Amino acid sequence: MSAPTADPVDTTAEVTADVTHVVTELATAAKRASRTLGTLTTAQKNAVLLAAADAIDAAADTVLAANAEDVQRAEAAGTEASLVDRLRLTADRVAGITGGLRQVAALPDPIGAVLSGKTLPNGLELRQVRVPLGVVGFVYEARPNVTVDGFGISFKSGNAVLLRGSSSAVSSNAALVTVLRGVLEEHRIDPNVVSLLPSDTRESVTALIQARGLVDVVIPRGGAGLISAVVTNATVPTIETGSGNCHIFVHRDADVDVATRIILNAKTRRPSVCNTVETVLIDSGIADEALAPITSALQAQGVVIHGEEPGMEPATEDDWHREYLSLDIALKVVDDIDAAIDHIAAYSTGHTEAIITKSLAAANEFTSRVDAAAVMVNASTAFTDGEQFGFGAEIGISTQKLHARGPMGLPELTSTKWLVWGDGQIRPA
């Protein structure tokens, strides 16, 4: 970065140009490095991932010392305790990070799978094969584990990765990436397969999400503000993850005990994650019976209910939109299943929606008409999760409809290409 000058306007312009230049250089190097990644065998990739896990274990003291600097700086700046906790690494957390790399090594390699194929009447042989995307960008917040996760899943799927972490984790991230690049060099792989972007200015995010032709996809992992900023301003393709205003609809034919147990689980198990239920809709045909047990069970667990019934926090329009991510929940009595489906269509973020019912007709109607990444019958919304679905790697949950929808596994970090083999075929006029 250039030194500050006397003129603040010039300085800004200069710094911006500088950061954009740095990001463009790193992206160009990543693109170049990515071109050979697709030709590595699964065995070669797994050897690197296992060596990376061993190397981080061996460098745990260095990584923890770097993390201590980040934590100290965050505490000195008066950062909230919960954020400092997310930033903090321990020997156990480092072991979790390297365990994650070993898990990714054990996953099936998506690259090279033949998805479809045929021989045309003229003898041309077509195969549609899975190939890497090329260069993946991650923009994420405090947790340093995403630095290693992001490398692991990208590398296994044959992609180079550009990591734009939080400035609060800069020392931890730098220590981890240094270890990763060292392992790549030992394996004679271009270390630009993984690079850390400058995190001291927003300009590096802008440069990353506008590097058309160099970056093939950017995946933001973090709060709704981060995700929205990235998706709205990007000119490279993005995958929108995580925002979940999830509903549970208690149908008039529900088993009230089942409904109560599922709502409690979906709200209180881990309130801060995206598959948490945020609004309960109760069919007017069962409200007399269901309202009291559900509300008292929630309140007994300290959940604040925002609704229109007596004894609740009065709900405003805003409550139907809210992703509380806390021990708060919105609750509304609706006329019937049509009204529930309309409410969900109006307020859902398309993450996970559930119906509790004993009626097969109602279950079929709800699952066919509700538009979301996951639609559930008599189950907790907490099950929308890559590990629960058996994907084995944590890449996030896509709430968009193109390319990937729902929990993402390694195949969602790939593209395809058509191979067409012939012996001189030309196309008639």
Near a second copy in 131-150, by CB under 8 A = 131, 133-134
Stretch that binds a second copy, among 12-20, 171-179, 227-235, 296-304 (CB under 8 A): 227-235
Six token digits for residue 88:
């903090």
Q: How far is the CB of 383 from a second copy (least distance, A)?
A: 6
Residue (144 or 409) nearer to a second copy, CB: 409
Q: How far is the CB of 283 from a second copy (least distance, A)?
A: 18
Q: Which of 288, 299, 301, 401 binds a second copy (CB under 8 A)?
A: 401
For residue 94, what is the enclosing H or E element?
helix 91-106
Stretch that binds a second copy, among 31-39, 41-49, 283-291, 321-329 (CB under 8 A): 31-39
Q: How far is the CB of 270 from a second copy (least distance, A)?
A: 8
Return left, alpha or beta for 371; rule: phi > 0 is left, psi -120 to 50 is alpha, else beta. beta
Q: How far is the CB of 2 from a second copy (least distance, A)?
A: 30
Stretch that binds a second copy, among 69-77, 138-146, 242-250, 421-429 (CB under 8 A): 421-429
Nearest CA among 150, 155, 152 for reference residue 138:
150
Contact 244, 276 (CB under 8 A): yes
Q: How far is the CB of 388 from a second copy (least distance, A)?
A: 7
Contact 114, 419 (CB under 8 A): no
- Window 72 to 111, contacts with a second copy (CB under 8 A): none
Long-range CB pairs of 308-316, under 8 A, 24+ apart, other chains included:
308/332, 308/333, 309/333
* End-to-end Cα, the chain, rounded Å: 58
CA 181 – CA 191 distance, rounded (Å): 5
CA 331 – CA 429 distance, rounded (Å): 65
- Window 35 to 54, contacts with a second copy (CB under 8 A): 35-36, 38-39
Give every CB contact of residue 194 below 8 A, 6+ residues apart in sequence: 151, 154, 155, 160, 161, 163, 177, 180, 181, 184
| 405 belongs to the binding site for a second copy (CB under 8 A) | yes
Q: How far is the CB of 228 from a second copy (least distance, A)?
A: 10
Q: How far is the CB of 108 from a second copy (least distance, A)?
A: 14
Per-residue binding letters, 230-269, with a second copy (x by CB under 8 A): -xx--x-x-x---------------x--x--xx-xxx--x
Residue (53 or 355) nearer to a second copy, CB: 355
Residue (128 or 167) nearer to a second copy, CB: 128
Contact 175, 152 (CB under 8 A): no
The edge-to-edge listing of strands for the beta sheet with 194-196 is 194-196, 160-164, 135-140, 217-221
| 373 belongs to the binding site for a second copy (CB under 8 A) | yes
| 119 belongs to the binding site for a second copy (CB under 8 A) | no
Q: Which of 372, 395, 408, 410 binds a second copy (CB under 8 A)?
A: 372
Residue (225 or 390) nearer to a second copy, CB: 390
| 346 belongs to the binding site for a second copy (CB under 8 A) | no
CA 58 – CA 179 distance, rounded (Å): 10
Q: How far is the CB of 202 from a second copy (least distance, A)?
A: 19
| 338 belongs to the binding site for a second copy (CB under 8 A) | no
| 5 belongs to the binding site for a second copy (CB under 8 A) | no
Q: Which of 9, 76, 300, 426 binds a second copy (CB under 8 A)?
A: 426
CA 366 – CA 358 distance, rounded (Å): 12
Residue (30 or 379) nearer to a second copy, CB: 379
Stretch that binds a second copy, among 54-62, 82-90, 170-178, 360-368 (CB under 8 A): 360-368
Beta pairing class for 397-398 and 406-407: antiparallel
User: Position 314: which residue type?
Assistant: P
Collapse the DSSP code of 266 into the 3-class scheme (helix H, G, I; strand E, B; otherwise coil) and give the result: helix
CA 72 – CA 78 distance, rounded (Å): 10
Stretch that binds a second copy, among 1-9, 288-296, 316-324, 372-380 (CB under 8 A): 372-380
- Window 176 to 215, contacts with a second copy (CB under 8 A): 212
Contact 397, 413 (CB under 8 A): no
Six token digits for residue 140:
């994420």
Q: Which of 28, 327, 369, 392 binds a second copy (CB under 8 A)?
A: 369
| 378 belongs to the binding site for a second copy (CB under 8 A) | yes
CA 159 – CA 264 distance, rounded (Å): 40
Query: What single DSSP character describes residue 134?
Result: S
Q: Which of 196, 286, 333, 379 binds a second copy (CB under 8 A)?
A: 379
